[in-house]
Amino acid sequence: MPREADGTPRERLLAAAADLFYQEGIRSVGIGRLLERAGVAKASLYDAFGSKDALVAAYLRDRHDAMRVRFHRALAGCPDPRARVLAPFDIQLGFAADSTYRGCAFARATAESHAAGVDTVAADYRRWIRTTFAGLAAEAGTADPTAVAMQLHALWDGAAQSLQMDHDPAVVRAARDAAAALLDAALSTTQKAP
């Protein structure tokens, strides 16, 4: 019996997609394999999503929602504005301890699929990351939160890519240290301004 035997056909397809797409890649997982894992008929895929590309977009929206929850939890435990800016890197340290970590699902998906829905969902996620970092940088008191957010996002992306390739949590600690230095420099500049 398939692992995703519980839930509606839509939920079972999303569970199968979450596991297979993330672990093996979008292109390498065919519709037949998804259907078998989910334990549903082909018509269920088309009734629930319309296409494999739409299923990929739904899978990515679920990943985005899960990341929002992770951020919310990490930020809830940080009353200090400086610590809040660095909290997302602590999330990545958690990824480093996960043997199933395969890198950023959004980067992987856009490398494999150029469907409009996939690109849109990935762009929404990336915009949310930058906006979140900008909000955190503003709360911390930086003079140019947008620029700081772009720099933090670059460190976040670099840590994810390096962690995927090197499987070494030291890279995330290095990115976090760089983010702290960047933030301290931005705050120092803000405090010196008249």
Per-residue pLDDT tens over the stretch 61-79: 999 999 999 999 999 989 9
| One domain for residues 35 and 94 | no
| Owning domain of residue 103 | 60-192
Same domain, 30 and 118: no
If asked whether residues 26 and 101 sit together in one domain, one would say no
Q: Are 42 and 13 in contact (CB under 8 A)?
A: no
pLDDT at 48 over 90: yes
Are 133 and 175 found together in one domain?
yes
Query: Amino acid identity, residue 147?
Result: A
Shared domain for 32 and 124, answered yes or no, is no
Whose structure tokens read 């890519």?
161
Q: Record the pTM.
A: 0.90
The answer to whether 113 and 53 have CB atoms below 8 angstroms apart is: yes
CATH of the domain at 85: 1.10.357.10
Co-location of 17 and 44 in the same domain? yes
> How many structural domains does the chain have?
2
* Same-domain status, 135 and 100: yes
Poorest-confidence range of 12-21, 28-37, 109-118? 109-118
Token pair, residue 39, equals: 């334990």
Q: Assess whether 73 and 19 both reside in one domain.
A: no
Answer whether residue 55 is part of any domain: no
Residue where the block lists tokens 């930058």? 130
Query: Hey, how many other C-beta atoms are within 10 angstroms of the C-beta on 174?
Result: 16
Per-residue pLDDT of 141-170, as tens digits, reads 999 999 999 999 999 999 999 999 998 999
CATH number at residue 3: 1.10.10.60
In the predicted model, is pLDDT for residue 186 greater than 60? yes
Radius of gyration of the chain (CA): 19
